[in-house]
Amino acid sequence: MYRTERIWPVLLVLLAAAAAPGLAQAERLDELPLDRWKNLREVERYQLNIAEKYYWKDKNYKVAAAEYEKFLTLYERSDGAPYAQLKWSQCLVQLRQLNTAIKDGFQSVVDYWPESPEAVVASYFIGNTYKEMGELSSARRAFRKVLEDYSEHPVAVYALNDLVDIAWIENDEDARVRYWKVLTFDTKRTKETEPSCLTRARQLAAYYFNRAAVAEGLKALEVTCKEEELPRVLVSFQYPWQYDKDRWHTRTGAQYSVSMLTTDEKTRAQGQKLADLLVAWLREQIPADTSTEELEQAVRQRWYDIAMLRSYALQDEEVLKTYQQVEKQFGTDDELLGKMAEWMKSRGKYDEARVVYRRFADPVQGQANIGYSYRQQGNYAQAVVEYRKAAALDNENPAKWLTEVANNWRYANKWNEAIATYMELMQVDLERVDQWRYESAVCHQAAGRYKEAIGVYRQCENFPSNYQKMAECYRALKQPSQAVVLYRQIAGGSEAHAPWAMIQIGYTWRDAGQREDAINALQAVCRKFPKHQYGSEAHAVLQRDFKITVTLGGGTDE
């Protein structure tokens, strides 16, 4: 009974949504449609324009709220009044006065202009604002009311979407799956609702794949794409899955489910079974016709996808067989060899991978891959040798390979060799001479040759980076005054870098043992940039390192 009660409004939403094609015209929920805009009088448009400017362009929500309020006072009976009230409420949301926004704002729209389109939107925003406040039960109530009252509007889909979020927060899997199913199978797609429905359908598919339920997963995924695209989508669909540290982490494809299940010893069998089922389905999708290049490429891709799934399922023999199958059917090419070699490297078989790279039709790329494989193993000297060979083979792009050579020397902490390579680059790649000069100076600095580094940095033109580095060198040379001069120049020359440069002055004096200067500099940071992260850092350093409690900072969030 309870379940039925919860479902019927949702079904109503979907039926009604199907009967409301005109709703798709609105660009955003909180924008006034053009047809209503043109109905406003000139004076009303003028006042609304002022408010809109502060809201959208200047993002000065305090002033915008006042202007919307002015509109309401002057033109209470205007067609734009509910819109102004809605926007006023949104201004309050931006000003973090959420309770007022709900009670005096959105609720007023619903109460005073119940027939207006804004009433629908306001009803949804009530739930949304409650959710933002952490009032999940109130939010849930509000969203359910939206589903009941305005089931024909796209906001019903948004409400469902938010209900999924709430179920996620509360770890209510049953509710989540129920809403997912509605959004996936029973919701008519419009321009507004399409993104939400797609995301939820993918999450539902992932949910089923995580339980090795291939048929259900594929069914959910089918609604996100055309039939012929499904095999490719199966291994490439992306979906947000884990919420951590204020953001969603995205996962990719059914292979994630295979990998997740296979990694855990307890569920490995289930993971491998999932891989078998997915592979079986993919095999069925392989077209028999390979007459055109496109069809051939599609077939190849299926096999590569199968190999990838096998690889995630730790079924190495099957991986090899799959690649052999491709080789047998289409012959060898660099793409196939590259994938084989990558898989070998993932299993630690670097020597075998290099044998495969040597079979490349494109010797330059093969050589480069060999070089890269040595770098991956930490054998930088050999990597340099291989990249040099690549450079010798590829006369047209010497800079590309020399850059790799220089990078390898840097990984190996061979600074002299890296500098020599950058010298070569300066001769070969005249367009980026300044960049290579800067990089060579970085190598001088890393090698501890600070004076030489300063000399080279002076020739560079990438202010303030070169000044930052020079200051670092002077600090290393125990010449704090010189470093401070440079930091001051940075603070004066680059507004964006000023807080950083000023706190560096404090650190420089601190490291030099000049307590008073350091305290003054750090207090200046607190005073001048009280809301900046460096203001916070300076405050903490003053307290921690100097036991100074009077930091002279302080501010408000306004």
Partner 1 sequence: MKPTESHWLRTVPRAAGIATLAYVVVWLGIVADWMWFGQLPPAVTAVVAALSIPIGIGWIRWALQPERRSDLLLSLTGSLIYPFWWHALLMTTVLLEQKWEFWSTVRARTAQLGTAALFVIGLAWMVWLLERGSTWYANRHGRMDDSDADLPPESGETPQELRAGRLPEPIEPHPAWHPLNLQAWYFNFSLMDWLLFTAVVVLLTAAAFLSPSRLALVPLAVGAVLLLPAAVRVVRLLCRPEVRQEGRPRRKLNQSLSGLMGYSLSFMLAYIVMTQVGGCSEVFELPAGGGEQKQIAQKVKIQKVIRRKFVINPFSAIRFKIPPIDEVKLQLTEITEHAYTVGYGQGTGAGYAGGTKAGKVRFIRLEYAGGDWDQDFGVGADLNMLVEYGIRTNQSVAERTESRRITDLRNFDIGKAPAFVFMTGQKNIVLSSREVKILQEYLLEKHGMIFCDNGGSRQFHNQFIAMMNRVLPTVRPVAIPLDDVIHRIPFPIPFLPFVAPHGGHEALGWKVDGRWVVYYHPGDINDAWTDDHSGVKPEIWEACYRLGANVMQYANAEYSKWLQARQQKD
* Site for partner 1, rule CB under 8 A: 95-100, 132-135, 137-138, 169-171, 243, 245, 523, 526, 530-533, 535-536, 538-540, 543-544, 549-558
User: What CA–CA distance (Å, rounded) separates 33 from 120?
Assistant: 14
User: Which is nearer to partner 1, 179 or 380 (by Cβ)?
Assistant: 179
CB 136 to partner 1: min, Å: 8
User: What CA–CA distance (Å, rounded) separates 369 from 375?
Assistant: 10
User: What CA–CA distance (Å, rounded) separates 186 from 197?
Assistant: 10
- Check residue 547 and give left, alpha or beta (phi > 0: left; psi -120 to 50: alpha): left
CB 121 to partner 1: min, Å: 20
User: What CA–CA distance (Å, rounded) separates 420 from 418?
Assistant: 5
Mapped onto helix, strand or coil, the DSSP state of residue 241 is strand
CB 128 to partner 1: min, Å: 12
CB 219 to partner 1: min, Å: 30
CB 369 to partner 1: min, Å: 39
CB 208 to partner 1: min, Å: 24
User: Which is nearer to partner 1, 132 or 352 (by Cβ)?
Assistant: 132
User: Which is nearer to partner 1, 170 or 229 (by Cβ)?
Assistant: 170
CB 531 to partner 1: min, Å: 6
Do the Cβ atoms of 289 and 275 come closer than 8 Å? Answer: no
User: Which is nearer to partner 1, 65 or 81 (by Cβ)?
Assistant: 65
CB 89 to partner 1: min, Å: 12
User: Which is nearer to partner 1, 495 or 557 (by Cβ)?
Assistant: 557
CB 519 to partner 1: min, Å: 12
User: Which is nearer to partner 1, 166 or 278 (by Cβ)?
Assistant: 166
Residues 6+ apart with CB under 8 A from 142: 123, 126, 127, 130
- What are φ and ψ of residue 115, in 5° steps? -90, -10
Residues 6+ apart with CB under 8 A from 494: 463, 464, 501
CB 557 to partner 1: min, Å: 4
User: Which is nearer to partner 1, 12 or 133 (by Cβ)?
Assistant: 133
User: Which is nearer to partner 1, 101 or 254 (by Cβ)?
Assistant: 101
What tokens does 421 get? 């390579």
- Spell 405-434 as b/e; 16+ CB within 10 A means b: bbbbbbebebbebbbbbbebbbeebeeeee
CB 553 to partner 1: min, Å: 5
User: What CA–CA distance (Å, rounded) separates 160 from 178?
Assistant: 10
Q: Which of 500, 448, 495, 501 is nearest to 476 (CA)?
A: 448
- What are φ and ψ of residue 190, in 5° steps? -125, 180
Cα-based distances in Å from 452 to 422, 442, 445, 481: 15, 10, 8, 19
Do the Cβ atoms of 161 and 204 come closer than 8 Å? Answer: no
Cα-based distances in Å from 215 to 186, 205, 241, 280, 312: 18, 9, 21, 12, 20
Encoded amino acid at 552, one letter:
L
CB 93 to partner 1: min, Å: 9
Residues 6+ apart with CB under 8 A from 84: 48, 51, 68, 69, 71, 72, 78
User: Which is nearer to partner 1, 100 or 459 (by Cβ)?
Assistant: 100
User: Which is nearer to partner 1, 459 or 533 (by Cβ)?
Assistant: 533
User: Which is nearer to partner 1, 168 or 281 (by Cβ)?
Assistant: 168
User: Which is nearer to partner 1, 170 or 351 (by Cβ)?
Assistant: 170
3-class DSSP string for 258-318: HHHHHHCHHHHHHHHHHHHHHHHHHHHCCCCCCCCHHHHHHHHHHHHHHHHHHHHCCCHHH
> From the CA atom positions of the chain, what is the Rg in Å?
32
